[in-house]
Amino acid sequence: MDKQLLSIFEMFPNRQRDDLIPMLHKIQDQFGFLSEDFIIEVGSYLDISVNKIFGVATFYDNFRFGPRGKYHIRLCHGTACHVAGATTILAELEKQLKIKSGETDKSGLFSLEVVSCIGACGLAPLIEINDEYHTSLSVESVKIILDQYRENHNNDYDE
Partner 1 sequence: MSFEININNTQVEVHEGETLLNVMRKNGIKIPTLCYMAGFTPSGACRLCVVEVEGKRDLITSCTYPVEEGMVVKTNSSRVIKARKSLVEMLLANHPDDCLYCERNGNCELQWLAEELNVKERKYFSRKNTDKRDHSSPSVYRDPAKCILCNRCVRVCEEVQLVTAIEFVYRGNKTKVNSAFNKGLNVSSCINCGQCIMVCPTGALVDISHIERVQAILDNPGKETVAMLSPAFVASIAEQAGIKNTDNPAGLITAALYKIGFKKVYDMSVASDLNIVLEASILKERMEKNHSTPLLSSCCPAWIKYAEEFTPDILPDISEAKSPQQLMGRIVKYHLHKETESDKLYTVGFMPCVANKYEASREENTLKGISETDAVITVREFLRMLRSSGISLSRMEAENPLPPLENNSRAGFQMAYSGGKAEAVAMQLNLLLNGKNPSGFKFIPPKNPGSKREVKVKIGKHEFGFAWVSGIMEAQNYLDQLKHDQRTDIHYVEVMACAGGCVGGGGQPVSYFNAREKAKLRKKTSQELEKLPANTIAGQNNDLATYLSANEKNAGSKSFHTNFHQRNVLK
* Binding residues for partner 1 (CB under 8 A): 36, 39-40, 43, 49-52, 54-55, 58-61
- DSSP secondary structure letter of residue 141: H
CB-hemisphere CA count at 13 Å for 109? 15
Tell me the closest approach of the beta carbon of residue 73 to partner 1, in angstroms: 20
d(C-alpha 80, C-alpha 82), whole Å: 5
8 vs 57, beta carbon nearer partner 1: 57
Backbone angles phi and psi of 69, in degrees to 5: -80, 175
28 vs 141, beta carbon nearer partner 1: 28
Task: Please give the order of strands across the beta sheet that includes 71-76.
Answer: 110-115, 71-76, 127-129, 132-134
27 vs 129, beta carbon nearer partner 1: 27
Tell me the closest approach of the beta carbon of residue 36 to partner 1, in angstroms: 6
Tell me the closest approach of the beta carbon of residue 115 to partner 1, in angstroms: 15
Tell me the closest approach of the beta carbon of residue 141 to partner 1, in angstroms: 28
49 vs 130, beta carbon nearer partner 1: 49
Spatial CB neighbours of 87, under 8 Å, sequence gap ≥ 6? 77
